[in-house]
């Protein structure tokens, strides 16, 4: 398992691997950049096929956090953690107590928060072992669950992109992939303005709830890409815009909460060639990290969060306008802007 030669290494400052026999913990923490401040990004618990898959994920996710935090105007660098979910039954509390202790060994260069597969209880368990945790619902600067703010930011970006393309959200057809905390709230916000939803998730109970609450149409995970919709909102895992799926898309806009949506950079050009407006994921999904940034700095203000969310809208608007003027892809423009803000 080569690190420096890994195609996703991208000059990471540090990559840490952790193993504990007693709890079955296998984890990576990747610190991509601390140029703007301590790195911050959530911990993901997932059933990875092997450690190579987990390493690839943490490297891609931590790079994305550097770009996300820079584009949101935060005094934070980019980092991420992934925990390989043990097979069979395991002691969840013991696992995350040990993981929390390991976070301390990174020396404050990385702050964690909740991500895919994690729960508020998991974060509280980690907090018993380390102070480098954010997104909690207790404490003087507690910001609480970041997922509603992530969803708010996604909704704002969907609306902005729709306005740019002359699409009214009332009556617009929107496909939402992934119905966790963020995806569900995105559906709620879209339903409130009269959008017609087509949804999917591997969790059938989550699909049934959205269909019941918002009158959505249910499709299988494989069918979501080919739906005749105006907007596609990926809110599950990454690399879903790939050679197998892009050719199926009928949507005019892609804007969602999932990280690393493009399987490879070339997919950005493929989308543009098909006349699809791609809204770069790390711009669209920045609401959550914005919400916890104040907590990391020791204060929290809803007014400050609102100001930053408006900044996200402005940044996305600038990217779309530059792409229209220059003919370059939105992801290329966003990457260049992020690197310039980081100073790398």
In the chain, the domains with their CATH numbers are 14-68+78-127 (3.40.50.10860), 147-285+314-342 (3.40.50.720)
**How large is the average pLDDT for residues 53-63?**
95
Look at residue 247 in the predicted model and tell me its pLDDT.
94
Residues 6+ apart with CB under 8 A from 61: 30, 41, 44, 80, 82, 238, 259, 260
Q: Please report which confidence band the pLDDT of residue 136 belongs to, taking 50, 70 and 90 as the band edges.
A: confident
Q: Please report which confidence band the pLDDT of residue 140 belongs to, taking 50, 70 and 90 as the band edges.
A: low
Q: How many CB atoms lie within 10 A of CB 282?
A: 25
Q: Is the pLDDT of residue 167 over 60?
A: yes
- Residues shown for the chain: 344
Query: Average per-residue pLDDT in the chain?
Result: 94
Report the alpha-carbon distance of residue 92 to residue 86 in Å, rounded.
10
Which of 266, 239, 285, 289 minimizes the C-alpha distance to 135? 289
Q: Please report which confidence band the pLDDT of residue 297 belongs to, taking 50, 70 and 90 as the band edges.
A: confident
Strands 25-33 and 77-84: antiparallel
Q: Percentage of the chain with pLDDT > 70?
A: 97
Strand order in the sheet with 231-234: 217-218, 196-200, 173-177, 231-234, 253-254, 277-278
Q: Is the pLDDT of residue 141 over 60?
A: no
Report the alpha-carbon distance of residue 298 to residue 194 in Å, rounded.
39
Whole-model pTM: value is 0.89
Q: How many CB atoms lie within 10 A of CB 273?
A: 10
Q: Is the pLDDT of residue 208 over 90?
A: yes
Which of 180, 99, 106, 176 minimizes the C-alpha distance to 145? 180
Catalytic residues: 80
Q: Please report which confidence band the pLDDT of residue 116 belongs to, taking 50, 70 and 90 as the band edges.
A: confident
Alpha helices per DSSP H over 115-273: 120-127, 147-164, 181-192, 204-214, 243-246, 266-273
Report the alpha-carbon distance of residue 339 to residue 325 in Å, rounded.
21
Look at residue 139 in the predicted model and tell me its pLDDT.
60
**How large is the average pLDDT for residues 75-85?**
97
Q: Is the pLDDT of residue 289 over 70?
A: yes
Q: What are the Cα distances from residue 94, in Å, to 21, 22, 99, 103?
A: 12, 9, 9, 14
Q: Please report which confidence band the pLDDT of residue 156 belongs to, taking 50, 70 and 90 as the band edges.
A: very high
Q: Is the pLDDT of residue 301 over 80?
A: yes
């Amino acid at each position: 398992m080569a690190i420096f030669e890994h195609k996703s290494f991208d000059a990471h400052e540090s990559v840490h691997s952790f193993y504990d026999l007693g709890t079955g913990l296998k984890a990576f923490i990747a610190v991509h950049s601390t140029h703007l401040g301590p790195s911050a990004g959530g911990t993901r618990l997932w059933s990875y096929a092997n450690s190579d898959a987990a390493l690839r994920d943490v490297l891609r996710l931590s790079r994305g956090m550097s770009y996300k935090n820079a584009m949101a105007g935060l005094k934070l660098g980019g980092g991420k953690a992934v925990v390989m979910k043990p097979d069979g039954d395991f002691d969840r509390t013991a696992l995350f107590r040990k993981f929390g202790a390991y976070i301390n060994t990174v020396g404050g260069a990385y702050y964690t928060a909740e991500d895919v597969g994690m729960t508020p209880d998991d974060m509280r368990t980690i907090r018993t072992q380390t102070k480098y945790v954010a997104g909690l619902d207790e404490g003087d600067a507690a910001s609480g669950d970041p997922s509603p703010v992530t969803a708010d930011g996604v909704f704002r970006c969907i609306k902005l992109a729709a306005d740019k393309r002359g699409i009214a959200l009332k009556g617009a057809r929107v496909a939402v992939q992934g119905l966790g905390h963020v995806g569900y709230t995105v559906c709620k916000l879209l339903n409130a303005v009269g959008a017609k939803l087509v949804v999917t998730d591997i969790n059938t109970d989550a699909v049934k709830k959205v269909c019941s609450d918002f009158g959505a149409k249910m499709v299988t995970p494989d069918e979501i890409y080919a739906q005749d919709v105006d907007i596609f909102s990926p809110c599950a895992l990454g690399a879903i815009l790939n050679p197998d799926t892009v050719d199926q898309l009928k949507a005019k806009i892609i804007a969602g909460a999932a990280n690393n949506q493009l399987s490879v950079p070339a997919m950005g050009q493929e989308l543009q060639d098909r006349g699809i407006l791609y809204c770069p994921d790390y711009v669209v999904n920045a609401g959550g990290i914005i919400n916890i940034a104040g907590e990391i700095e020791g204060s929290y203000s809803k007014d400050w969060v609102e100001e930053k969310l408006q900044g996200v809208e402005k940044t996305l608007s600038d990217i779309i306008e530059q792409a229209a003027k220059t003919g370059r892809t939105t992801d290329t423009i966003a990457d260049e802007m992020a690197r310039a803000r980081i100073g790398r």
